[in-house]
Amino acid sequence: MSRVKEERVPLVEVKDSVKDFPGVRALDKVSFDLNAGEVHVLVGENGAGKSTLAKILDGALPLDEGQIYINGKEVHHLTFYQVLFVSLQYTHKFLITVLCYL
C-alpha cells in the first residue's frame, strides 16, 4: 500500500515580486509562501524592503511585477477583505519605537 503525499496549497504565496520607486528598486524578485498556522517575521537593514513588502501584503501598495496567490488563486491587488480572510497583520515600525519608550 503506497501513501500519496498530500500537497498543501499555501494560504498566501508571493512569486517574483518587484516594486520600484523613483530611483530605487525596493523589491527585486522576492518570493515566499505562508501556510496556515505559521508566523513569519521580516528582519533586515533599513531600506531592505520590509515595509514595502508588508504594505503590499496589507493591500496598501500594488506590485509592479510578480504574482500574489491566496489559496492558490491569483490576485492582482489584495483587498481589505482578503487581508482579513488570511489574517495578515502588520506592525508598523513607529509603533514599536513608541512602545519602547513608554
pLDDT in tens, 70-87: 888 888 777 766 666 665
Rounded Cα distance, 25 and 32, in Å = 18
Residue 101 has a pLDDT of 44
pTM greater than the 0.75 cutoff: no
Residue 80 has a pLDDT of 67
Distance set, CA 44 to CA 48, 58, 71, 83, 87 (Å): 6, 19, 27, 23, 23
Domain chopping of the chain, boundaries: 12-100
CATH code, 12-100: 3.40.50.300
The alpha carbon dihedral of 84, 86, 87, 90 has a sign of negative
Q: With 90 as the cut, is the pLDDT of residue 26 above it?
A: yes
